[in-house]
Structure formats: C-alpha cells, structure tokens
Amino acid sequence: MKDLMGKAIWDFYHDENPEDLQTETSISELDELPVDYLFRDFEDMNDIEQKALELSQGKTLDIGAGAGSHSLYLQNERNLDVTALDISPKSIEVCQLRGIKQAVSQNMLEFSGETFDTILLLMNGTGIFESLGSIDIYLEKLHSLLNKNGQILIDSTDILYMFDKDYDGGVYIPAGGYYGELDYIVHYKGESEEPIKWLYLDFYTLKNAAENNGFNIEKVLQDEDSYLARLTKK
C-alpha cells in the first residue's frame, strides 16, 4: 500500500506542496477530492456527519478516521474518550499531531482489546466491508467491539441512481454481483494506488446483513440517496 491518502493528508498538514487527490471508481470518471476537505470543521460537515457526531456518546471508536476531523470534534467539543483508527500510518501520525490523544494505525479486523459505547463509520462507512461476501466478517468484528448497550453509527449511499435507466424506468445494472460493489482507485501527485474493493449499500441490504449478525437497526436520517443507520445489539 502506497498510502497516497495519508501522503496527501501529511503534505497538507505540513504545507509540503499538497495537491488535490483524484479518485475514480469502476463506474465513475476521475473526481477531484480537495485535501482540505478532509480537515473540515463541524460547520462544514454534511447533515449525516453532524447528526452522527451529535448522537455519539461514551467511549468512542472512529473507524477510518482519516485526518481525524470527527475524532477531534468529539474529543475537544464533546469531551468524549475517543480512539481514532485508520489503516493509513501517515493519517494517524497527523491525527496525533493534531492533538488526538488516542490514535492507532491498524486494520479494523486486527484491532482488539477494548470495547466501545459508540463506533463511528462515516464517509460511506460501509465501504470498508469491501464486498457483500465479506460483510459478515466485519459485522461480527463490530459486534465484538461494541458494549452491551452500545451503538454503531454508519452511513452509506444507494448508488442505483448512477446506472442508466430504460424507457420503462428499469435500471441497467451489471450482472454477476451486487451493484454497490466497486473498485476504488486513489491518485496523488502522479502515483496511483492499487484498486481497492469498496462497498456502497442500500439500506435494506444493510438491514438484512445487520439482523443476520445479531443487530437491531434503524434509519436515523435520509439525505437524498444517502442515509445514516444506527445498529444496536439484539
């Protein structure tokens, strides 16, 4: 892993000629991702992120923390005990430099030893599940990290709108697999990451998987094609 996302976050924090990240997926063209977006304040976050941060309570694990903006808000403004977790070593170094007291660079599946009252997975939190076939592995892991009366706050987008429709309103979706399974590629300063598997989930598919893995689930907020869900233990 070249850790290009981490490199961009590092360059921006240290003012080392940062450039915009470029991202693309197997169904979409190149898209610019300004690095400063990853450093945004609460006021600049979308409704789903703001709602999730308002609902967070107790000891919190921020999975896929990136530059740490969610963790920082919870630690500094809400006075919560927060752990920022990200697979990107450079991102976690920046989280520490920004003042996050507990920041760990590790794959979520290998992280253990503690349990939490709130687990956050934001900015298409279901992406980390990779594919429909591996959802159960991740949900089992999340179940083991969650306190008895804890909550998981996770968001995603139903990307059905990205596919072409026919005259009858039917949608042309690829055969052989779930339409939300994408390859996601990051480019930065002329380098490209190997494609990673990234999963967008419609609410009902997430609901079925969650209920099969010992969770109750409710939709907390719907914002156009995106939603925030709250999972609790059955």
d(CA 175, CA 197): 17
**Is 166 inside a domain boundary?**
no
**Is 66 inside a domain boundary?**
yes
Indicate the pTM of the whole model.
0.94
**131 φ, ψ (degrees, to nearest 5):** -155, 165
d(CA 92, CA 134): 25
**Is 211 inside a domain boundary?**
yes
Can you give the CATH number for the domain in which 221 is found?
3.40.50.150
**Is 112 inside a domain boundary?**
yes
Per-residue pLDDT tens, the chain, 234 aa: give them: 899 999 999 999 999 999 999 999 998 999 999 999 999 999 999 999 999 999 999 999 999 999 999 999 999 999 999 999 999 999 999 999 999 999 999 999 999 989 999 999 999 999 999 999 999 999 999 999 999 999 999 999 999 888 877 777 676 666 668 999 999 999 999 999 999 999 999 999 999 999 999 999 999 999 999 999 999 999
Contacts of 53 (CB under 8 A, 6+ apart): 42, 45, 70, 73, 74, 78
**Is 192 inside a domain boundary?**
yes
Q: What is the pLDDT of residue 176?
A: 67
Host domain of residue 77? 4-159+172-233
Give how many domains the chain has, as a whole number: 1
**Is 45 inside a domain boundary?**
yes
**Is 165 inside a domain boundary?**
no
**Is 164 inside a domain boundary?**
no
Q: What is the pLDDT of residue 215?
A: 98
d(CA 217, CA 233): 9
Q: What is the pLDDT of residue 164?
A: 73
Extract the tokens encoding 20.
């915009």
**Maximum Cα–Cα distance across the chain:** 55
